[in-house]
Amino acid sequence: MPPYAGFACGFLTLLLSLDGRIVLGEESNALRQKLKGLIAAGKKQIILNVDNITYIDSAGLGILVAAHVSAKTQAHCSSSATWAENSRKSCNSPSW
């Protein structure tokens, strides 16, 4: 069974409630795929509720760290793209 019990989605933030164990194997692969899918869909502010996690091994911790880095990297790329677009607009049109 995947280690996530459910999720609620707000305007900018997603709450993912985790349940059970996050260990090397099928469960951690399911969590990895779920997080990758959410990040790919544009959800970059994900709160993980770990109140019901009973055990996490190094593989599980690695999944959480990788998801964090991926979300931060995509958020940075998005903000950089927005900044670049805004810079092009301001450079091409005079503000006077």
Q: Report the CATH number that the domain containing residue 63 is assigned in CATH.
A: 3.30.750.24
The Cα–Cα gap between 35 and 17 comes to 12
Judge residue 91's burial from the number of C-beta atoms within 10 Å of its C-beta, 0-12 exposed, 13-18 middle, 19 or more buried.
exposed
The pLDDT of residue 78 is: 55
Amino acid at 20: G
pLDDT in tens, 30-79: 999 999 999 998 887 889 999 999 999 999 999 999 999 998 888 766 54
Query: pTM of the full predicted structure?
Result: 0.67
- Number of separate domains in the chain: 1
In the prediction, which pLDDT does 45 show? 86
